[in-house]
Amino acid sequence: MSALDTDLQTATPIERIRYLMARLREPEVGCPWDAKQTYRTIAPFTIEEAYEVADAIERHDLEHLREELGDLLFQVIFYCQMAEEEQRFDLDAVARGLEQKLVRRHPHVFPLGTLESRIKPGQQAEEQQIKSNWDAIKQQEKAEKKALPDSVLDEVPASMSPLRRAQKMQAVVAKKGFDWDDPLRVLENLHEEIGELQLEVKEKAPVDKIADELGDVLFCCVNLARHYKLDAEMVMTKVNQKFERRFRALEHALRQQGITLDEATLEQMEAEWQAAKKQETPRG
């Protein structure tokens, strides 16, 4: 049944949103912008909405999180509506596939492979065993989709943000034993990479060479974050927030003195920057 055939008087909230999306996509009487969108044009908005969800969580703004989750859900509805128009799949098919996947990947919770099955008290597996089972099941699923992958890195989406993709690639090869066994080794490697970058800078190397060495430094930083089970993107998000917080304080302090950023000297800005750092709590 098409979403446009929904009885709005008895419809659930999800059904009403599906109806709304179908109406927006109607070629002649819908929204011109929504009607002309494609999977490719919507994808950047999906990434942006996911970041806004993460940002709301980082700021502990749960009221805003509810709104952002709605925006992210709408992205899923949007894709499903486009697929339904092409008679490929719909939201129900996506939900059924998700249910089957989650049940399949959690045999320690659903021992018979059905949503209705239950484990007995005391049968819960250890966390490490659960992770091992999860990885094994995922590998089996991938093997069924592609009999002979060209590389273990095939499972890392090329569309991931650079920091997240670097961390994911490192995690994938680490499972095959290609990894340092101690964070200190990673730190030593980071110092080596910084030394190589410093040498190129001192020798006034071409900018593409500087970029190459700088990339090695960034990649190594991501690896260090991974060894401490930190999400490199969230680490970067937090430092961005810290910089913004301090620079806003700098701007405010200068404004209180009747000085604009264009008028301020570097020494004045540096003084206010240091003052902002000192005023922060230990969390900064």
10-residue mean pLDDT profile of the chain (284 residues): values are: 79 94 93 95 90 87 94 97 96 94 83 77 62 66 63 84 92 93 95 97 95 97 96 90 95 96 96 93 53
In this predicted structure, what is the pLDDT of residue 207? Answer: 95
Residue ranges of domains in the chain:
3-103, 105-148, 149-230, 234-279
Look at domain 149-230 and name its CATH class. mainly alpha
CA–CA gap between residue 201 and residue 30 (Å, rounded): 56
Mean pLDDT (the chain) is: 88
Under the phi-then-psi rule, with left for phi > 0, alpha for psi from -120 to 50, and beta for the rest, what region is 182?
beta
Q: How far apart are CA 113 and CA 101, in angstroms?
A: 10
Query: Taking the domain 3-103, which CATH number applies?
Result: 1.10.287.1080
Number of H helices, E strands in the chain: 11, 0
CB atoms within 10 A of CB 49: 18
| DSSP 8-state class, residue 120 | P
Output the pLDDT for position 115. Answer: 80
Give the residue from 240, 275, 278, 239 showing the smallest Cα distance to 254: 275
pLDDT of residue 284: 45
pLDDT of residue 130: 63
Residues 6+ apart with CB under 8 A from 167: 222, 223, 225, 226, 231, 232, 233
State the pLDDT at residue 64: 92
- pLDDT value of position 103: 87
Asked if domains 3-103 and 149-230 share a fold, the reply is yes
The tens digit of pLDDT for each residue in 9-49 reads 899 999 999 999 999 999 989 999 999 999 999 998 998 89
